[in-house]
Amino acid sequence: MKVIIAGFNLDKTLIDKYVPCAQSTPESISAAYARISRSSKSVNELRTDSLKEIEKSRASNQTIIFEMGHASVAEHAVFNVDIIGISRYLTEFIERSRLASFTEKSQRYVTFEDDFVIPEDLDSSIKEEYIKLTQTLFKEYQSTIVTLMNNLKAREPELKKRDLETKAKEDARYILPLSTKTQLGMTINARNLENLLQRLHNLPITEAQELYRQLFDAVCHVAPSLIRYTDVKKNAYSEFDSLKPIIKARSDELVTLTAANGSEVDILAALLYEKNSITFSDALASIVSLTPVEKAKLWDSIFRDLKFWQKLPRAFEMCDLIFETVMSQCCWAQFKRHRMCSIFKTSEVCGSENVIPPSVQELEVRDKWQNLFTEVNLLIQKIKQNQPLLSNYCLTNSHPVRVMVKINLRELYHFVRLRSDQHAQWEIRKISDLMSSLTRAKYPMAAKFLMGKSSYQKLEQNH
């Protein structure tokens, strides 16, 4: 056996300084790995050959990826991208890419200055009003941080300054608009970057088109053979635009369990199936024949000595749940990071009231916030008349949206461990706790340990 590190992330300034320009591309690794299936040479020899003939490697990539259709070869090329000075609105769009990694400048820990995106394509008759109102929102944000810090200090004098600031920013950010400028680091392979570029190309706003151009130019300069189909026009499903939904009842419940597929018996049967050479129907029959006490023993064996960092068996994916939730844009920014489940968000904000943090509701600034929300909503309606997409820049973190999530029980364990933890942000923790409660009612044995990380630690201390 032999293990060789074939490559790893390096800062671009080091690559430019020490790697010959002709060889500073991930295309050579993609081409070498593509040849593994058809060559008797060792993979490290293939990499050496690929590096010596970059143009040949590029031609090989083009043939294998785009003509033969083996797109997974492009996944061997990975890029680290700094994206600086974009709006929170566009950030949310980018971070819907499922198979990529993102770290974003946090509004929970960083104080944001009066810096926001002014859409170039915004109607000139509205631009001045847009700028003035956005500046007012930032002033209110700064003022609220101070007010919340003073209030917290009086109530919890033991808190350190850093903790006071963090708690204050966590709630003050609800007044910030989605036009707020931010930055993020993105790690993405070439195949998924091509998909992101397609999505950006189909978003008809200037900021998205500028990001598309800069991303395309930067990556294609480094790896021209890996990305080709970026200007594909995607189906807009325009037939749905004229379809008027039948609204029987509008639910403002924070969390609703709308469907659950699969049973606890399915989980146990899947585990039994993996340990034997039997059909799944035989495994099901075997589990069904057990007494409740015998089944309970099986569940005890699954959860015995379970740590908060341990994954549940894949058999827990046999159970799928569909939840509908109402949450703020602020909460959505966290919720959508759980990209392995299927998440759907309505394009319009829902009819519920803006989400105001409890810490703000008990202060006099609450009335100021309500007045500002009224102004924001009036401006949104003005912009929507001719430029509906651009109205999203005016939305604040507090505006509510409807979200539907299809998630299997294994992934739900991961979500709840993180989001029901005592250190989790208050809004997403409330949603996570409700999802846990509804799931435990449906799957009392399988969801027995559906809890935040901090609860696991308390269980260990008690034992």
* 234-274 pLDDT, tens digit each: 887 778 877 877 776 666 789 999 999 999 999 999 999 99
- Among 248, 275, 303, identify where a domain stops: 303
Do 112 and 165 belong together in one domain? yes
Asked whether residue 145 falls in the same domain as residue 172, the answer is yes
Element (H, E) at 214: helix 206-222
143 with 158, same domain: the answer is yes
Q: At what angle do helices 264-274 and 292-303 cross, to 10 degrees?
A: 70
At 249 the pLDDT is 64
Q: How far apart are CA 413 and CA 399, in angstroms?
A: 28
Domain span at 56: 12-76
Q: Are 184 and 291 within one domain?
A: no
Question: What integer best gives the mean pLDDT of the chain?
Answer: 93
Task: Give the integer Cα–Cα distance in Å for 49 and 56.
Answer: 10
For residues 255 and 13, give the distance between their C-alpha atoms in angstroms, rounded to a whole number. 48
| 154 and 45 in a common domain | no
State how far the Cα of 227 lies from the Cα of 220, in Å rounded to an integer: 7
What secondary structure letter does DSSP report for 71? Answer: G
Which CATH number do you get for residue 196?
3.30.1360.170
- The number of beta carbons lying within 10 Å of the beta carbon of residue 193 is 25
Residue 29 in domain: yes
In terms of domains, do 102 and 182 share one?
yes
Sheet holding 342-349, edge to edge: 255-261, 320-328, 400-408, 342-349
For the chain, percent of residues with pLDDT exceeding 90: 75
pLDDT at 251: 67
Domain end among 59, 76, 93: 76
Residue 257 lies in a domain: no
Looking at the structure, do residues 87 and 25 belong to the same domain, yes or no?
A: no
CB 409 within 8 A of CB 439: yes
| Nearest-angstrom CA–CA distance, 166 and 179 | 22
The model's pTM is: 0.91
190-201 vs 206-222: helix axis angle to the nearest 10?
150
Q: In total, how many domains does the chain have?
A: 3
Q: Band of the pLDDT at 461, cuts 50, 70, 90?
A: low
Boundary residue ending a domain (279, 303, 327): 303
Residue 456 domain-assigned (yes or no): no
Tell me, yes or no, whether 324 lies in a domain: no
Same domain, 99 and 178: yes
Query: Angle 239-244-246 (CA atoms, 0-180°, nearest 5)?
Result: 135
Token pair in block for residue 89:
């609105």
Distances from the Cα of 321 to the Cα of 5, 70, 201, 280, 401, angstroms: 40, 33, 33, 22, 20
Please choose, from the candidates 445, 417, 407, the residue with its C-alpha nearest in 3D space to the C-alpha of residue 307.
417
The alpha carbon of residue 23 and the mean position of all alpha carbons in its chain are separated, in whole angstroms, by 34
Q: What is the pLDDT of residues 79-90, one digit of tens each?
A: 999 999 999 999
